[in-house]
């Protein structure tokens, strides 16, 4: 297992919906290991979703230290599998960035408080109650599993501007 190359938008893997996980097996653990290795390699990523390393499966990782969000964080690099929001309330507008859109950022409106149901690595159903930074991150990562990125929450003009910059980035970095 090793760090994988991050897919850069526009990319067909990033923009198609991912498949639910049905087997909680060694292959899933290897995928999670790859996500963790890639996060470590990329530095201080708060989250990473499987489509970003070219795998269309409904898995993402989040790493938000509780002290960075008033005590509401994750237990290290935590895996969230087959996530479903069962509550979304309040509103916040905040700036998002993404490893798949390097060097760019944009404002996105999200729910300020969410409750999300998900499976852990052993296939047990879990729930997480999240506000602010953690809530925004869970929504950003779940968007990835639905083939959406923060750029899809922008005006057509801004989205097109970012798209052109990313095409240039991909040419320059041969990706």
Active site residues: 141
Structure-token match 């779940």, residue found: 142
Residues 46 and 61: beta-carbon distance below 8 Å:
no
Choose the binding region for Ni ion from 22-30, 66-74, 96-104, 111-119 (rule: CB under 5 A). 96-104
Closer of 81 and 138 to Ni ion (Cβ): 138
Min CB(100)–Ni ion separation in Å: 6
How far from 85 is each of 8, 51, 59, 120, 135, CA to CA, in Å?
A: 27, 19, 14, 15, 10
Q: Does residue 50 belong to the site contacting Ni ion (CB under 5 A)?
A: no
DSSP label at 139?
H
Choose the binding region for Ni ion from 29-37, 91-99, 124-132, 151-159 (rule: CB under 5 A). 91-99
Closer of 46 and 128 to Ni ion (Cβ): 46
Residues whose CB is less than 8 angstroms from the CB of residue 71 and which lie 6 or more positions away in sequence, other chains included: none
Q: Does residue 98 belong to the site contacting Ni ion (CB under 5 A)?
A: yes
Closer of 104 and 132 to Ni ion (Cβ): 104
Min CB(140)–Ni ion separation in Å: 6
CA 114 – CA 7 distance, rounded (Å): 28
CA 117 – CA 1 distance, rounded (Å): 28
Counting every residue, how long is the chain? 175
Size of the site for Ni ion (CB under 5 A): 1
Q: Does residue 151 belong to the site contacting Ni ion (CB under 5 A)?
A: no
- What's the start-to-end Cα distance of the chain, in Å? 21
Question: Residue of minimal CB distance from Ni ion?
Answer: 98
Min CB(9)–Ni ion separation in Å: 9
Binding stretches for Ni ion (CB under 5 A): 98
């Amino acid at each position: 297992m090793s760090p994988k190359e991050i897919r850069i938008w526009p990319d067909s893997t990033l923009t198609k919906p991912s498949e639910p996980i049905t087997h909680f097996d060694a292959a899933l653990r290897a995928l999670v290991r790859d996500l963790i290795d890639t996060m470590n390699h990329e530095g201080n990523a708060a989250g990473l979703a499987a489509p970003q390393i070219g795998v269309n499966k409904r898995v993402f990782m989040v790493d938000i230290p509780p002290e960075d969000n008033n005590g509401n964080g994750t237990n290290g690099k935590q895996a969230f599998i087959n996530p479903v929001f069962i509550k979304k309330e309040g509103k916040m507008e905040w700036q998002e960035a993404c490893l798949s859109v390097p060097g760019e950022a944009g404002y996105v409106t999200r729910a300020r408080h969410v409750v999300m149901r998900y499976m852990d690595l052993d296939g047990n159903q879990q729930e997480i109650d999240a506000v602010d930074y953690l809530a925004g991150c869970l929504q950003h990562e779940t968007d990835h599993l639905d083939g959406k990125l923060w750029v899809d929450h922008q005006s057509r003009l801004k989205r097109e501007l970012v798209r052109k910059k990313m095409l240039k980035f991909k040419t320059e970095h041969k990706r």
